[in-house]
Amino acid sequence: MRIRDLLDIKSVNLNSSPYTKTETINHLVALLSKSGSLNDPARYCRAVFEREGKGSTGLGDGVAIPHAKSAGVNRLSLAAMVVRTGVDFDSIDGQKAYLFFMIASPHKATDEHIDVLAHLSSLLIDETFRRRLIEAQSPEEFMQAIDEAEKSIEENQEHQVQKEHSQNLSAALGSRYDVVAVTACPAGLSHTYMAAEAIEHKAKELGLSVKVEADGAAGNRNRLLPEDIANARAVIVAADRAVDMDRFIGKPLVRVGVVDGIRKPEELLKKALSSECPEYRIGGQTTENSSVPMRLYRHLMSGLTYILPLAATAGILSAIARFDFIKATSLGMFLDTIGYSIGTLLFPVLSAFISFSIGGRTALVAGFTGGVMADMANTGVVGAVVNGFMGGGVAFLASRFALRFLKGHDAMFALLVYPLLGALGTTLLVQFVTNIPSGFIDEKIEILLGQSGPAVLILLGALLGGMMSADMGGPCNKMAYATGVLLLADCLPEIGSGSYVMAAVMAGGMTPPIAAGVAAGIIGRPLFSIEEKKIAFKTISKGFLFITEGVYPYLAVSPVKMRLACVLCSSAAGALSMYYSCAVCAPHGGIFVIPLAVNPLDYLISILSGSLLGAVLFVIMRSTVRKKT
């Protein structure tokens, strides 16, 4: 399907002048409406904002492709817009975006929109084409540029098919690619295909043969075959999520994030083919461009991801078992036993998957060992985290040892030697190095949370609650949430000091959407737009479900003031939660876990009080903006 089939000329605007990301999205939705492709523009607009909440669609190089599937869409369609002054769209390169395409897809449609996204991404990798679109003087000229670019691609398709057939035949006869590569991003959309296209184009410029596996949301359409990998000189993995790495053992390999695949393809190709490029071995030694703090953060988040369902299950089962009408029954004892048993897995799983993130499968036993020892030595979640990194480090050293002294036999030793060395090495390090400081730190945290006066706890609740809405999905939000989850894991399946911190964190995250919905739908209706009033009660429901990003549509008008209102109401809710000694048993769930909370009525009062404060602040902030305009 060509772009011309999806892009109505009425949905092209070359002279728009929005100032913010939110205004830009609203302008694009309005353009789509002109083509008759939307049956509910407000519903589709909300879907776009929800998609942006998961990660910006600003692709860099002045381009953004916001998109969403929604029941508010009649048919697959496009809108296009040029903003000559540029818009700050949170792009991956930190630069303004000037060229925008919006993709709208029906909710129950196939993944055809992903094909369109991949096609657009491939076209827009060409700087000359991008410049021609931005400099177009009329919608007709804009459409003509697209038609000519697609025609050029179609003319080259037959040659490309012949080339691929020749390459496959050569590979079968024993020749080889210079480089094989894998690209993947968390969502599996634009960045995956842009990185693949960038590597392919740059390889062609350099006269290199390359095959790229784009592991996207629509599946793997160009999977590397064993013979492709065997006959390749080197491998590039440009991915921000886990991919199958064991197939590359023994090959020179460069491992980077997907953005580097887009921005630095020439550097990656040269590094991969360099004589200094290290071979990939079990344990995962690669050339990786990433700061040490960022790598440590990713490893920690990997472990955290795996304990979330365990923590929720252990906490909820144990909380149900503590109800008066059930705790003395056999069912209560059964639920409590299951909850306790799952709770005992939290530290080993946390440590194991931190280690796994560092050293792959060979590090799992070392990580489990560290987690078990943290539990045995009562060093708490601090010990589990530290021991996870220790286990990963031991596995890394073990793999380096095998690479040097067991060359040619390291795969055979993966089943026995690596786990044994990992377990013994981690045991020694933990027992004689990390146990004492980890236990000391964990104990001090317990003392701080358990013995501090109300003023300190209220301040802590206000700080963590405010952080939840300071950047919504950014570093502050993630740090606050990670703190709550880790401290909750430190006490589960019982109710402990970490449960009080988790309650403050959850209250801080629930409050902003409730506040915005109450302001727009109840107490300040004249100050809000028709679309904002329409989604008010849906926004309130998102708040009760602990979906903080539900407040995004209300931040468009005066974002700084609106975000300040969010921070203040979240801080108030977190502080009140701590003041009333409220505690929750799970790291998520919102209103569904409130009945299981300690002091549930006070907890609900804390959330509603913070929300009411936020609603008043939203009305005040919005009224001041109206007066100025």
Closest CA to 299 of 400, 419, 376, 384: 384
Q: How far is CA 206 from the centre of its chain?
A: 34
User: What is the Cα–Cα distance from 63 to 84, expressed in whole angstroms?
Assistant: 12
Residue 13 is inside which H or E element, if any?
strand 7-13
Specify burial of residue 599 (Cβ count, 10 A radius: 0-12, 13-18, 19+).
middle
| CA neighbours closer than 13 Å in the CB half-sphere of residue 424 | 8
* Sequence-separated (6 or more) residues with CB below 8 Å from residue 157: none
Closest CA to 12 of 118, 150, 143: 143
Taking each helix axis from N to C end, the angle separating 112-124 and 127-134, rounded to the nearest 10 degrees, works out to 100
* Sequence-separated (6 or more) residues with CB below 8 Å from residue 152: none
Strand order in the sheet with 210-216: 219-220, 210-216, 179-184, 234-239, 253-256
Instruction: For residue 525, count other CB atoms closer than 10 A to its CB.
Output: 13
Question: Catalytic amino acids?
Answer: 67, 185
Q: Are 146 and 3 in contact (CB under 8 A)?
A: yes
Q: What is the 3-state secondary structure (H, E, C) of 479-531?
A: HHHHHHHHHHHCCCCCCCHHHHHHHHHHHHHHHHHHHHHHHHHHHCHHHCCHH
User: What is the Cα–Cα distance from 393 to 385, expressed in whole angstroms?
Assistant: 13
Closest CA to 504 of 565, 573, 455, 454: 573
Closest CA to 459 of 576, 297, 304: 576
Q: What is the 3-state secondary structure (H, E, C) of 236-276?
A: EEEECCCCCCHHHCCCEEEEECHHHHHHCHHHHHHHHHCCC
Specify burial of residue 273 (Cβ count, 10 A radius: 0-12, 13-18, 19+).
middle
Q: Is beta strand 219-220 parallel, antiparallel or unpaired with respect to 63-64?
A: unpaired
Residues in a beta bridge with 180: 211, 235
Q: Are 558 and 539 in contact (CB under 8 A)?
A: no
Specify burial of residue 361 (Cβ count, 10 A radius: 0-12, 13-18, 19+).
middle
Tokens of 51: 């998609």
* 3-class state of residue 90 by DSSP: coil
User: What is the Cα–Cα distance from 47 to 550, expressed in whole angstroms?
Assistant: 11
